[in-house]
Amino acid sequence: MQVSKDVLNYCAAIWAGFAILLLPVLLKYKAPYGRHISFAWGKTISNRFGWIVMEIVSPLVLVLCFFSGFNGSNLFALSLVAIWVIHYFHRSVIFPLYIRTTGKRIPIAVVGMAVFFNVINGSLNGLYLGHFQTEFPREWPGMCRLILGFALLIAGAYINIRSDYILIRLRKPGETLYKIPQGFLFRFVSCPNHLGEMIEWVGFAIMAWNLPALSFAVWTIANLMPRALHHHSWYKKHFPDYPKERKALFPFLI
């Protein structure tokens, strides 16, 4: 398959620009799933099934696009593919099986938009990794980037997963109510799971050092920063005893 690096980079830049343009809309309108679900968004399906369907698309598309290229023996490209696949195996299989979401629904429209988002990100990143990713950097600036990016990726994944599982365990099996999360980084912010995910993909972009990875980090921030702000307002509205000093996303700041 013939792919132009310039065209791929233009597409990634336009895609990232679109995220930035959409940010005011995402800040104004809450993504209608989880606690912000709105049945005005039409037909719904089981929340657990929705998570599996919308997230499994990303690693499948990434791997398919990757193997359309000639980088099957490029160890660095393969390592980045492995990171993506491990993250999304957790997100599309393990996370949906663990969530305590009995009876909860998700609009098909939300699942459809997430599938579209995952197809674009999976294909841009898969094509770049498969066709153009160079081998492990051997010079100092590249090696420093790799170490910094990997450290952020691991720290972000740890924060994300640990926080998600604290939230999930707030409910007993069969419960659907919300409680005030405590401990770990919840002492400082309402949504450390979203903060961790943002750090993780910024780390990945620094490691990969290419435009498609950067565009995915930009989209992750554009999705999760508004969601964290909306969650924070929701907590303050629903829990009069919500800790006053707790911020939404960045400790002591926002």
Choosing from 45, 90, 104, 247, the residue that interacts with ligand NDP (CB under 6 A) is: 104
The 108-147 site mask, x for binding ligand NDP (CB under 6 A), equals ----------------------------------------
* Minimum CB–partner distance for residue 181 and ligand NDP (Å): 5
Binds ligand NDP (CB under 6 A): choice among 18, 168, 243, 251: 168
φ/ψ of 44, rounded to 5, equals -125, 160
DSSP conformation letters of 14-64: HHHHHHHHHHHHHHHS--SSGGG--GGG--EEEHHHHHHHHHHHHHHHHHH
Q: Which of 36, 31, 224 has its CA nearest to residue 109?
A: 31
30 or 131: whose CB is closer to ligand NDP? Answer: 30
CB of 168 to ligand NDP, least distance (A): 5
Quick one: angle between helices 75-89 and 192-208, nearest 10? Answer: 160
197 binds ligand NDP (CB under 6 A): yes
Instruction: Name the one range near ligand NDP by CB under 6 A: 13-21, 134-142, 173-181, 244-252.
Output: 173-181
Is 166 a residue that touches ligand NDP (CB under 6 A)? no
**Should residue 179 be labelled a site residue for ligand NDP when binding is judged by CB under 6 A?**
yes
Taking Cα atoms as reference points, which of 62, 70, 69 lies closest to residue 89? 62
CB of 243 to ligand NDP, least distance (A): 13
φ/ψ bin of 133: left (φ > 0), alpha (ψ from -120 to 50), beta (otherwise): beta
Give the shortest CB-140-to-ligand NDP separation in angstroms. Answer: 31
Interface pattern 71-100 for ligand NDP (x via CB under 6 A):
----------------------------x-
Give the span between the Cα atoms of 250 and 254, in whole angstroms: 5
Which tokens sit at 109? 């429209």
Q: Cα–Cα distance between 238 and 236 in angstroms, integer?
A: 6
Q: Can residue 215 be called a binding residue for ligand NDP (CB under 6 A)?
A: no
167 contacts ligand NDP (rule: CB under 6 A)? yes
DSSP per-residue string spanning 137-186 = --SHHHHHHHHHHHHHHHHHHHHHHHHHHHHHTTSPTT--------SGGG
Residues in contact with 242: Cβ distance below 8 Å, sequence separation at least 6, in sequence order:
180, 235, 236
The residue ranges that bind ligand NDP (CB under 6 A) are 34-35, 99, 101, 104, 160, 164, 167-168, 170-171, 178-179, 181, 193-194, 197, 220, 223-224, 227
